[in-house]
Amino acid sequence: MTKEEFFKVKELLDEIGEYYKDNDWLIVKKYILRYLNPTIRKYFSTRDLKSKKHKINSFDQKAIDYYYQKFNVKLVLDDSKKL
């Protein structure tokens, strides 16, 4: 991933962070994915095919860490949705 690609992710995180004050990672992720080019979306994790549960990969974690540094909100994946 290039710096320009992650810059677009940061822009979207900044945009939703101004209004969204909860800590659900899936809501933030869905917002981001809706407005990203498919070449960038491929870096985010996908659901498990069998269980349909979510997991957090290293790219997701990088976005979560950025969001925490910027807004002091630790985004989490609900245990009931976690693989």
pTM over 0.75: yes
User: What percent of the chain stands above pLDDT 90?
Assistant: 67
Domain boundaries, the chain: 3-78
Measured N-to-C along each axis, helices 25-34 and 3-17 cross at an angle, to the nearest 10 degrees, of: 120
pLDDT tens, 43-70? 999 888 888 888 889 999 999 999 999 9
